[in-house]
Structure 1
């Protein structure tokens, strides 16, 4: 039996106008037309109208449950496409990050944007493109509740024990290809260098390949089902060990840093391992099919085929990988601006008081520099020098500035919301806890700054007046300073936005540099350069080690 549920006889015949034609197994063209028409009955008028799509989908599901002839025809149509087309590329390529270089992929997409690639009618992706022919189909396919897709595939009987030789051969071929690709990626130095005691005999990425080869060999020689089942369990365990190794490598990012190549390799590995689980689910004879995983794969393939030539999608994904790499370590940079205990809270408060002292002097010096009659360029240069020296002093004294804290902690908040770390849904509870910690810390830094800045700045201005007999700001100039701080009468809010953006950018840059210093082992390289140097060179080495690394 090709499908899990047998066709049952009904006492009452279905009216002729409602009956679907029973398709022959090799009627590929008619089967494809049937599938196109079937999806047309679900497709909403607007791809963003998810409610309409779900309503139509529920109606179709109800019809499938009531009219077994329609269900049987749908099964035959799908099976016809599975057996008469090549599904290997759909399983091993579609929805998996490409191994080609950035510019190679970009130019390829531009070329196919102008002159689309011609797919063979024997390619299963050709079927996907014909059925979901609108480029916006992925919107409603992904928008529809995943529970409906799961219900659809369960009604369809996708959890089956397949006996069609051609289809099984393609599944084993896909299994073979993915296994070797996982083993190859697992041997990349970006991964193996993270293991101190690298042993190929127990390395899970190689172990899964050995087991899969043994499993395929047993299938070739018609080994017993029991033996194949035992090896399948070992393969699943090896794949779980691969995922565990990937999680461990991710955890080591904070200690060893990461690179773009490592990020892409890990992403490809996770996608290929997930694809192996789908194939093993189909080949396994224990009737425990993960329909949720298959539904996720289905929506991924539809999305990928709809958007395969999208330059925006390509740039967005690659920018996303880079942004994830930077933000992950920018989050580490912001950890020191988040307090957890009462002791840390008061340490942050006193650190903010120290920052308030420095800011008071920066403000006084800035107003004094404003009295100089210089060209706008040199005035801007002097202002910038004053601010940069002040920020360096804040950094060196480990003081805190309230306006700087949110920009640096934004990465940490985003990191707490990250689902890539766990492979599960975003942890809202963890996000709420992080936001609470950030808010509490912001209160400490804000209060510490203000409690010092107002009285100290006033004191410094008064001392300057006592010493020189000149006020730092008076008359029209003083009124202009006040006016410049009023949001309704100046561009102060816009300037604040500019400041916030560049402070955030500085947090990203700091995280990126910190990651690069660790990942490129700058510390060890500096040690080797200054190993046999003069005392002056050793002093430079120590300074770099302490201040940068």
Structure 2
């Protein structure tokens, strides 16, 4: 093979070859990038009009839908990106030519085009008159109050109705054949960056635009629409604030001031003052007084509505309730914005910010993600807080509590031993797929409920409950600047938690395996055969081996453990929201049936145990039914629970005898137990901890510092994570 000649600069031949390849790739990539950019711009500009055709099409006497469609075309022209190296092909240009005001480099493109449009209209009065006529005619024919008072809010105070409305906006096209200015506004300002470029309009451009569009009659209509919208919004806030669901959850001391009762009356006085000020300049002095009085009432209404969150422990929460509170707050903020515009000396500036808010609301109203994230955060927080209360019982902080946890875990292991044989017995019955999963779930659920009634514990149920309790420790801390005491305190809680989990697992496994072996030995002695066949035992070892998908199944089981904790919190919240504990205690029919003392005891018992019952029943059914339902869709999903898996391995050992100890299959299955336990605990804890943090609005920015503190504790005192603290 002929050797490559040396490079001219003395470098290696390979370096020269790679340099030539890089130069070739660079030469090819530049035209490809330009072509890709042109194609992208052409896609963005598809269907857009040239400025000449757009101005020639402005006709104040055209039918209403055409005039509204012209406004939509104008907004599309403002948003459309520039073309590359394209000379002006029309008499006005499209914003690519120089203007009287050279834009700054950071000026958004729609603002540049708006300035260019104003330059053209100032030089051509006939086109300015046509554009002004189109805008004024559309505004006069439209319902201005619909934009100011109704746009951005749900037609009914219910989460489901708002969800349906957003789906309609996302899936169905809108029409410009409407006199609802709110609907037309959504068609005009539908771009994602419309709020940004509206906010970037400078004061000079804003004044030129105001001069172009000024009309005395339209200004009077606009001020009347402002006061009408304020009255409508005040009436809606009053109706929501005085509804039974919110009123019983507000602070009675703040309600005593009757802020919601006086709100509508104050809005009426404001409208009367505005009308008087328009008719006679001498009466204009009373308008600021009425504006300030209404602002004070709005603050009182918001402060009273905020107390709803403080009374959720006694009355519970629902998605519709959260939605109503947020809609009330947003309506009061809209009234504040309208008051800013009504009492401002610079009406153009306030109108600009009002349009910015409305344009930003277009995007928020179209998205389903913000709706769910915003209105489910409070419900998630309440679910997490209820789990946190339960989770405190699973964290041991003293030697006596640690041994009590160990004792209760041993009791849980005893019950799980029976669950193991129940699982094998159900497997021997030829059920159909669904009923096999259902009765397996009933077996699990009954065992977990028995453990709860005996005040014992299962280790894998702890993390999903303890994670919200850990997040509660962080709530209220300045996480951007955690002091050393806060970090050490959180590390102490981590040590308490891991030590508690370790006690739970040790107690479960220390009992379940010997009990299962003892039952198998008793079966050999009494019946001459084990309770589990040899084929079933070998299938169990093959199924639980670490060499298979056991780790993935264990992680999936952690997800089910977390889901059961959410179900438990939701059921408890539902129980409290519908006042079922009070119904059990005081309902005449129940009192007549049980007697007053027993009804009171039942009420207290159900209030204290509803969360645990929901968690145990839901977890059992999830473990039994989810694999069956997944198999229906062709998904190979199974569950791997550490205590149940340990019991199954012990049952297989009791059937196959001591000779199985010489087989690798047994040891690979036994090696899977620590991984199953770790994944059950870690996945459920991690998911619950993240939900608890997000529901509280906590963003942990010092993860590295906390991680370093935990590693330092592991180096200096590793035993503190496993053994109980000294007495």
TM-score, length basis structure 1 = 0.69
1:122–1:95 distance in 2 versus 1, CA, 3 Å: same
Kept after mapping to 2: 8 A contact 1:183/1:205: yes
Task: Report what 1:257 is aligned to.
Answer: 316
Task: Report what 2:330 is aligned to.
Answer: 271
- Give aligned pairs, total: 499
* Whole-angstrom CA distance in 2 between matches of 1:451 and 1:39: 67
* Whole-angstrom CA distance in 2 between matches of 1:160 and 1:350: 78
Report whether the alignment pairs 1:403 with 2:460: yes
* Counterpart secondary structure, 1:446: helix
Taking the TM superposition and a 5 Å limit, the aligned residue runs for 1:284-363 are 284-285=343-344, 289=350, 294-301=355-362, 304=365, 326-336=379-389, 344=397, 353-354=406-407, 356-363=409-416
Q: CA deviation at 1:64?
A: 5.4
* Whole-angstrom CA distance in 1 between matches of 2:359 and 2:469: 33
* Whole-angstrom CA distance in 2 between matches of 1:76 and 1:428: 54
Cα distance per residue 1:44-102 (max 9 Å; x no partner): 79xxxxxxxxx997233356578862697799699745566332112222220121778
Q: Which has the higher contact order (CA 8 A, sep 6+)?
A: 1
Report whether the alignment pairs 1:39 with 2:76: yes
Q: CA deviation at 1:248?
A: 0.7
Q: CA deviation at 1:249?
A: 0.7
Cα distance per residue 1:228-274 (max 9 Å; x no partner): 21321222222122111121112211222134553343233123222
Report whether the alignment pairs 1:152 with 2:201: yes
Report whether the alignment pairs 1:515 with 2:573: yes
Kept after mapping to 2: 8 A contact 1:92/1:178: yes
Task: Report what 1:69 is aligned to.
Answer: 119
Task: Report what 2:421 is aligned to.
Answer: 368
Q: After the TM superposition, which of the residue ranges 459-468 and 103-112 deviates more from structure 2?
A: 103-112
Report whether the alignment pairs 1:167 with 2:226: no
1:212 to 267, 271, 276: 267
Task: Report what 1:51 is aligned to.
Answer: none
* Counterpart secondary structure, 1:404: helix
Kept after mapping to 1: 8 A contact 2:584/2:599: no
Q: CA deviation at 1:495?
A: 7.1
Q: CA deviation at 1:107?
A: 9.1
Task: Report what 2:93 is aligned to.
Answer: none
* Whole-angstrom CA distance in 2 between matches of 1:254 and 1:462: 47
Taking the TM superposition and a 5 Å limit, the aligned residue runs for 1:74-153 are 80=136, 82=139, 85-99=142-156, 120=177, 122-125=179-182, 127-132=184-189, 137-138=190-191, 140-141=192-193, 148-152=197-201
* Whole-angstrom CA distance in 2 between matches of 1:478 and 1:500: 25
Q: CA deviation at 1:490?
A: 4.7
Task: Report what 2:666 is aligned to.
Answer: none
Cα distance per residue 1:360-385 (max 9 Å; x no partner): 22442234335648414497677545
1:113–1:232 distance in 2 versus 1, CA, 3 Å: closer
* Whole-angstrom CA distance in 1 between matches of 2:514 and 2:150: 69
Report whether the alignment pairs 1:245 with 2:269: no
Cα distance per residue 1:259-316 (max 9 Å; x no partner): 4553343233123222212211211225585976752322213664x68xxxxx5xx8
Q: After the TM superposition, which of the residue ranges 182-191 and 33-42 deviates more from structure 2?
A: 33-42
Task: Report what 2:692 is aligned to.
Answer: none
* Counterpart secondary structure, 2:155: coil
Task: Report what 1:481 is aligned to.
Answer: 540
* Whole-angstrom CA distance in 1 between matches of 2:473 and 2:221: 47
1:334–1:429 distance in 2 versus 1, CA, 3 Å: farther
Cα distance per residue 1:131-181 (max 9 Å; x no partner): 35xxxx45x34xx7x655432376754999997111111111111111112
Q: CA deviation at 1:492?
A: 6.7
The root-mean-square deviation of aligned C-alpha atoms, in Å, is 5.4
* Whole-angstrom CA distance in 1 between matches of 2:353 and 2:322: 26
1:235 to 290, 294, 297: 294
* Counterpart secondary structure, 1:152: coil
Q: CA deviation at 1:401?
A: 3.8
* Whole-angstrom CA distance in 2 between matches of 1:410 and 1:341: 10
Q: CA deviation at 1:480?
A: 3.3
Kept after mapping to 2: 8 A contact 1:331/1:413: no
Cα distance per residue 1:471-513 (max 9 Å; x no partner): 787966544333322365256734752x445444433332233
Kept after mapping to 1: 8 A contact 2:238/2:261: yes
Q: CA deviation at 1:446?
A: 3.1
Kept after mapping to 2: 8 A contact 1:407/1:503: yes
* Counterpart secondary structure, 2:153: coil
Q: CA deviation at 1:340?
A: 12
Kept after mapping to 1: 8 A contact 2:314/2:576: yes
1:177 to 203, 214, 232: 232
* Whole-angstrom CA distance in 2 between matches of 1:543 and 1:387: 25
Task: Report what 1:9 is aligned to.
Answer: none
Q: After the TM superposition, which of the residue ranges 193-202 and 537-546 deviates more from structure 2?
A: 193-202
Kept after mapping to 1: 8 A contact 2:270/2:290: yes
Task: Report what 1:392 is aligned to.
Answer: 449
Kept after mapping to 2: 8 A contact 1:256/1:519: yes
* Whole-angstrom CA distance in 2 between matches of 1:475 and 1:186: 69
Kept after mapping to 1: 8 A contact 2:250/2:304: no
Unpaired runs of at least 5, structure 2? 1-50, 83-104, 123-127, 609-727
Kept after mapping to 2: 8 A contact 1:407/1:507: yes
* Whole-angstrom CA distance in 2 between matches of 1:351 and 1:152: 68
Which is richer in helix? 2
